[in-house]
Homo-oligomer: A and B are copies of this chain.
Amino acid sequence: MSEYQQQHSPTAYGQDGDALPPVEQHAQQYETVRNAHETELIEDYVELIGDLLRHRGEARAADIATRMAVSQATVSKMIRRLNELGLVTSKPYRSLFLTEEGQKMAEISRSRHDVVLHFLRALGVDDSTARIDAEGMEHHVSDKTLTIMQRFTEQQRT
């Protein structure tokens, strides 16, 4: 491991606050991010389908495509995957519906999303920015952090 042959940096930087984390911990950071990326899109689809069902009573592929700014072909393909994963049921040319499992995922995702969004607003971020940031951040916030965010938001509200 070349990384350990040279213990002292020859540059003038020395200690500048943050050292490199231990290898195992560092590796775990990236692994966790990769895992999040695997489920991220699935969650967004399921969450959106749930939201469309709640707010509009139906979830059509065309609406998903518009809201996600993605082609209908992309949505169609994705729906097949969601079907295979047992998250949605779909008859051709009909509205989508969520399975039990899909509904569970939708609820969890929506609640996570809400906690992050409300937290950002409580922190002083304007609504439109908060919405954009929350859409990405939500998938990378641990349960621990989520709890802390929630507490912060509640305290702020008083």
A:1-55 near B, CB below 8 Å: 1-3, 6, 9-11, 13, 16, 18-21, 23, 25-33, 36-37, 44, 51-55
Residue of B with least CB distance to A2: B60
A:100-142 near B, CB below 8 Å: 114, 117, 120, 123-126, 128-133, 135-137, 139-142
Residue of B with least CB distance to A62: B2
Between A and B, 17 residue pairs with Cβ closer than 8 Å are A2-B58, A2-B62, A9-B55, A9-B57, A13-B55, A16-B54, A19-B55, A20-B52, A20-B55, A20-B56, A20-B67, A23-B66, A23-B67, A32-B136, A33-B135, A123-B152, A130-B145
List the 10 closest pairs (A to B, CB-CB), nearest first. A136-B140, A27-B69, A29-B135, A33-B136, A3-B63, A9-B57, A137-B140, A26-B67, A30-B68, A2-B60
Please list the residues of chain A having a beta carbon within 8 angstroms of any beta carbon in chain B: 1-3, 6, 9-11, 13, 16, 18-21, 23, 25-33, 36-37, 44, 51-58, 60, 62-63, 66-70, 114, 117, 120, 123-126, 128-133, 135-137, 139-142, 144-145, 148-149, 152
A1-B62, A6-B57, A19-B55 are known; give 17 further A-B pairs, CB within 8 A. Answer: A1-B66, A3-B52, A3-B60, A3-B62, A9-B54, A10-B57, A20-B51, A23-B66, A27-B67, A28-B132, A31-B69, A33-B136, A120-B145, A123-B148, A125-B144, A126-B144, A130-B145
